[in-house]
Chain A
Amino acid sequence: MGVLENKFNDNIVVGSLDKFLSWSRSTSPWFFQFGLACCAIEMMATAAARHDLERIGMMPRSSPRQADVMIVAGTVTMKMALRVKKLYEQMANPKYVISMGSCATSGGPYWQHGYHVLKGVDLVVPVDVYVPGCPPRPEALIEGLLKLQQLISDERPLTRKLA
C-alpha cells in the first residue's frame, strides 16, 4: 500500500479495509450511560450544551445492547458489582470500558474503611481507559474519550495475528 499512496489526486483515498473499519468505529462510539454517583453528574454536564459530547460522535444510549462504550462513572459497590458484570456481558462486541473517576479506578476516597466498596471496577470487567479525578472535569473526560478513539483507530481487527 505504500506503493499506491500519494500517487493519485486529492479526491482519491487509498487504504486498507482494516484502517477504514477502525476509523469508522472510532469516530462514532455510542456510550452506555452508566452513571452511578457524583461522576454521573459530570458525565451529564459533559454531554450537555457547554462541553458537547455529540460533536465527537458520542451519543448516550440507555440500553447496553445498543452501546459500544461503557463509561463506569462513580463508585461501584459489592451489591452492584455483579450487575456491572452482567451489563458488560450484554454489550455486543467490539466493546470498550472507560473507568471514570477515582472511585471506579481504585476505590477512591473510600478505599480504606469501605467494606462495601469495590476497590476498582477492573476487578470485574476489563478496562481500556482510566480517567482520574474526583470528579474529573469535563475536559478531562473528553481527553479520556479522545485517547479511547486513538486506541480504537489503532486496532487492526481484520489482520490475523502471528502466533
Chain B
Amino acid sequence: MGVIQGDQMVLNIGPQHPSTHGVLRLEVMTDGEIVSKITPHLGYLHRCFEKHSENVTYEQVIPYTDRCDYLASMNSNFGYVVAMEELMDIKVCERVEYVRVIMAELNRIASHLLGVGAYGLDVGAFTPFVHMLRDRERILDIFEYTCGARLLYNYMWVGGVSHDLPKDFKKICFKFLDYFEPKIDEYNQLLTYNKIFVERTADVGVLPADVAISYGVSGTNLRASGVKWDVRKEEPYSIYDRFNFDIPIGEAKFGTLGDCFDRYWVRILEMKESIKIVRQALKEIPEGDIFETMPKKIRPPKGSIYRRTESPRGDLGYYIESDGSPVPTRVKMRSPAFTALSCLDEISQGWMMSDVLCILGSLDIVLGEIDR
C-alpha cells in the first residue's frame, strides 16, 4: 500500500449518505484512495434527551429512552428501569422478570438482524438484507401482539411492564423460535462462507483489546477482540444469573483477532445464545400479577446511581440523580455506540475508502443513541 502517494485532500462523506447508518458526517483526509485521518462530526440528530428528562416526570422519561436507541428500544427501557429500581430499592415479582428477559432477548435478536443485514448492504450484498428484514418482521409481529407497537414500545415501566403476555404467547413464540433457528444456517450460507464477503472483511480494521478498553468500547465489539466481558454475567441484573448461556468471543476465524469479520461472527453467535435464553425463560415462566410491585407514585430518595446493562451495542449506562421530587435532576445516558464511534479514527488509518465504510458498518452504530 502507498506505492504512489498523491496530495492530501479533504473528502466529505455525509451527513446524507446511504451507508452512514443515520446522519453522520465523516471528514476524511485522503489522497484519493488511502485514508490518513478521519474526523467524525456528530450532532445532526441531537434531540435534547437530557434536557427533556429534567422537565418531565420519571415515568415520562421512558418513551424518550425508546427513541434514543430505536433499534433496541426494549433494552433501552430495561436499562433505565433497572437503574431506577436500584435507586428506589424495589424488587419486582417473578413474572415481570421473566417477561422482561424474554422481550429484551427477542429485541436483541431483532437488532442484530438489522445490524448484520445493513452491514451486508454496505458491503454490497442486497439479498441477506431482505431475508433478515423478513425474519425481523415476525419478531415485530410478536411485539405488536403483546403491546400494540412495532418499533417504539414504552413497554417496561418502573416496577413492572405495561401489558401482560397474551394467552397463547408461549405457543406463538415457540413457533417463531422453531422457524428461526434453521434460518441462521441460511444466513451463514449467504454471508459467512461467501468468499467475497470474507475477502472484504477479514483482516480489515483490527481493534486490539487494550485500545478497545481505553476507548471504552464494550459489548460485541470488545468481545470480538477476545475479551470475555458481558455485563449480564459480570454485574448480573434481573434474573440473568439463572440462565445457562455462553459468551461468544472472537476466534480469528478467517483473519486476525478483532477484525470486521470477527465482529460480524460474534453477532451471529449471539443470536443463537439469545434463542437459548428465550427458550429457557418460556419454560420456567410463572403466573402472577404484573402490576403488584408497581409503585403508585415515583419519588426516589435523594441520591444518585450509575447502573449499566447489556444492550445489543454494548454497555448502556444510566446516571440518574434525584432530589426527592417527582422530576429527575439529571439523567445521563452513557451510550455504547458513542464510544464505538470514537475509535474509528484509530482503526481505519491506512485503509482504503471502501474499507472505511466496511469498518463503520461492522461497529453497528445507531445515531439516535450517539447524539441523544
If over half of B's interface residues share one DSSP class (helix, strand or loop), that class is named, otherwise mixed; here it is: loop
Contacts of B48 in A (CB 8 A): 110, 113-117
Q: Does A125 contact B (CB under 8 A)?
A: no
Interface centre among B16, B52, B64 (most CB of A within 10 A): B16
Kindly specify which of A3-11, A13-21, A41-49, A147-155 makes contact with the partner chain.
A41-49
B130 touches A49 (CB 8 A): yes
Contacts of A40 in B (CB 8 A): 22
Q: Which B residue sits closest to A84, measured CB to CB?
A: B16
Q: Which of B1-24 contact A (CB under 8 A)?
A: 15-18, 22-23
Contacts of B151 in A (CB 8 A): 38, 41-42, 135
A37 touches B70 (CB 8 A): yes
Alpha-carbon distance A113/B23, docked complex (angstroms): 22
**Given A50-B137, A115-B48, A42:B15 Cβ within 8 A:** no
Contacts of A80 in B (CB 8 A): 15, 23, 44-45
A37 touches B22 (CB 8 A): yes
Q: Does B83 contact A (CB under 8 A)?
A: no
Q: Does B40 contact A (CB under 8 A)?
A: no
A44 touches B70 (CB 8 A): no
Q: Does B212 contact A (CB under 8 A)?
A: no
Q: Does A161 contact B (CB under 8 A)?
A: no
Question: How many residues from B make CB contacts under 8 Å with A?
Answer: 32
Of B18, B70, B137, which is within 8 A of A62 by CB?
Answer: B18
Of A37, A48, A109, which is within 8 A of B133 by CB?
Answer: A48
Q: Which B residue sits closest to A42, measured CB to CB?
A: B151
- Min CB gap B67→A, angstroms: 6
Q: Does B134 contact A (CB under 8 A)?
A: yes
**Given A37-B70, A44-B133, A134:B152 Cβ within 8 A:** yes
**Given A36-B22, A135-B152, A77:B43 Cβ within 8 A:** yes
B134 touches A49 (CB 8 A): yes
Alpha-carbon distance A99/B114, docked complex (angstroms): 24
**Given A45-B137, A48-B134, A135-B151, A109:B51 Cβ within 8 A:** no
Contacts of A42 in B (CB 8 A): 150-151
Alpha-carbon distance A44/B130, docked complex (angstroms): 10
Alpha-carbon distance A134/B152, docked complex (angstroms): 8
B44 touches A115 (CB 8 A): no
Q: Does A96 contact B (CB under 8 A)?
A: no
Q: Does A34 contact B (CB under 8 A)?
A: yes
Contacts of B255 in A (CB 8 A): none
Q: Which of A97-125 contact B (CB under 8 A)?
A: 109-110, 112-117
Contacts of B114 in A (CB 8 A): 41
Q: Does B302 contact A (CB under 8 A)?
A: no
- Min CB gap B40→A, angstroms: 14
Contacts of B129 in A (CB 8 A): 48
Contacts of A156 in B (CB 8 A): none
Q: Does B91 contact A (CB under 8 A)?
A: no
- Min CB gap B37→A, angstroms: 22
B45 touches A75 (CB 8 A): yes
Alpha-carbon distance A83/B41, docked complex (angstroms): 14
Interface string of B351-369 (1 = CB under 8 A from A): 0000000000000000110
Contacts of A45 in B (CB 8 A): 133, 137, 140
**Given A48-B133, A77-B45, A79-B44, A114:B16 Cβ within 8 A:** no
Alpha-carbon distance A93/B261, docked complex (angstroms): 44
Q: Which of B306-344 contact A (CB under 8 A)?
A: none
Q: Which residues of B contact A (CB under 8 A)?
A: 15-18, 22-23, 43-48, 51-52, 55, 63-64, 67, 70-71, 114, 129-130, 133-134, 137, 140, 150-152, 367-368
Write 21 A-B pairs (CB below 8 A) sorted by A numbering. A33-B18, A36-B22, A36-B23, A37-B67, A37-B70, A41-B151, A42-B150, A42-B151, A49-B137, A50-B137, A74-B45, A80-B23, A80-B44, A87-B16, A109-B67, A110-B47, A110-B48, A112-B52, A114-B47, A134-B152, A135-B151
